[in-house]
Amino acid sequence: MNNYNQSSSGYPLHHPTLRKLGLVGGLSWHSTLEYYMYLNQTINDYFGNNTNPPLVLVNLDQYSMHQLQKSDHWDIIAAMLIEACDQLYKAGASAAMFCANTPHKVYHEVQRHSMIPILHIGDAIGTAVRKKGLRKVGLIGTVFTMEEPFIEKILKDKYDIDIMVPDQKKDREKLHTIIQKELSLGILKPETKKYILDQIVILETMGAEGIILGCTEFPIIIGENDLEIPVFNTTLLHAQMGVDFILRTDF
């Protein structure tokens, strides 16, 4: 394999101690931007200057992804993610991460075919929730994230954390629509924020000790200052996991 940390002039492209991380982005690009900003800023802060991390990005078409989700073609979605990870591997990445929660539905299938490890967002969430000493937390996200076990299972089996989601299907579907029709397009409405916060309050009254913003678009409209209970921003938690990998800590 070519030395991707070295330019043709012989001058190093990246800091020699940092591992190259691959991002599967575009899901949506708004949250991918948050990943990119956090990774760069945190590495800058670590070195105390403008040293940037070695990153490579494959930007997928979110519209196509949503259409495939609607038609239940998760096999095609998995194939797209496998191809993306292959591109990242060929570009010299030592690990990859999906810059969204929902693609983790096919995580195990993609990981089986990937030449590099894929950093699971569930591990980032589980570690953070356990550090807070919580055992029962609310989760909001797409209908796939809320209704299927790919996030819930890793949190329960590996971290002994119980998950609660909105009880009414209509509310889960509305949250899903908000993600796909508003937040992923950068549309932020005050009434939408109020609705999301109302759903979180309901989960709190049901016993949730904290809330997982289980879609990487939610932190665009909901912040820690909006709530009194602990908020788990999956975008930043996952991005920090990427920072730890780049810096070779906890891996």
Residue 27 confidence (pLDDT): 86
Q: Please, which pLDDT band fits residue 3 given cuts at 50, 70 and 90?
A: very low
Is the pLDDT reported for residue 35 higher than 80?
yes
Residue 202 confidence (pLDDT): 96
Residues sharing a CB contact under 8 Å with residue 122, sequence separation 6 or more, in sequence order:
104, 150, 151, 154, 155, 158
> What is the arithmetic mean of pLDDT over 132-144?
96
Pair of tokens at residue 98: 């999906």
Is the pLDDT reported for residue 135 higher than 50?
yes
Taking a C-beta distance cutoff of 8 angstroms, is the pair 98, 81 a contact? yes
Domain coordinates in residue numbering, the chain: 21-121+238-246, 122-233
Q: What percent of the chain has pLDDT over 90?
A: 85
> What is the arithmetic mean of pLDDT over 41-68?
96
Taking a C-beta distance cutoff of 8 angstroms, is the pair 22, 58 a contact? yes
Q: What is the largest CA-CA distance in the chain?
A: 62
* Short-list 159, 156, 146, 148, CA closest to 203: 146
H/E segment holding residue 194: helix 190-205
Is the pLDDT reported for residue 144 higher than 70?
yes
Taking a C-beta distance cutoff of 8 angstroms, is the pair 114, 83 a contact? no
pLDDT one-digit tens code per residue, 193-222: 999 999 999 999 999 999 999 998 898 899
> What is the arithmetic mean of pLDDT over 157-184?
95
- Cα angle 70, 71, 76 (rounded to 5 degrees) comes to 105
Locate tokens 């239940």: which residue? 72
pTM of the full predicted structure?
0.89
Task: Kindly report the number of other CB atoms within 10 A of residue 133's CB atom.
Answer: 9
Is the pLDDT reported for residue 242 higher than 60?
yes
Same fold, 21-121+238-246 and 122-233: yes
H/E segment holding residue 137: strand 136-140
- What is the Cβ-side half-sphere exposure of residue 16, based on CA atoms within 13 angstroms? 3
Residue 4 confidence (pLDDT): 46
Taking a C-beta distance cutoff of 8 angstroms, is the pair 18, 39 a contact? no
Query: Which residues, listed in sequence order, are joined to residue 136 by a DSSP beta bridge?
Result: 162
* Short-list 147, 69, 82, CA closest to 109: 82
Is the pLDDT reported for residue 84 higher than 90?
yes
Strands 162-164 and 211-213: unpaired
Q: What is the CATH number of domain 122-233?
A: 3.40.50.1860
* Fold adopted by 21-121+238-246: Rossmann fold (3.40.50)
Mean per-residue pLDDT of the chain: 93
Residue 178 confidence (pLDDT): 96
Residue 9 confidence (pLDDT): 55
Is the pLDDT reported for residue 7 higher than 60?
no
pLDDT one-digit tens code per residue, 106-127: 999 999 999 999 999 999 999 9
Is the pLDDT reported for residue 231 higher than 90?
yes
* Sheet arrangement for strand 55-59: 55-59, 21-25, 95-98
* Short-list 24, 34, 30, CA closest to 237: 34
Residue 1 confidence (pLDDT): 37
Q: Please, which pLDDT band fits residue 8 given cuts at 50, 70 and 90?
A: low
Pair of tokens at residue 48: 């105390």
CA-CA distance, 85 to 56, in Å (whole number)? 11
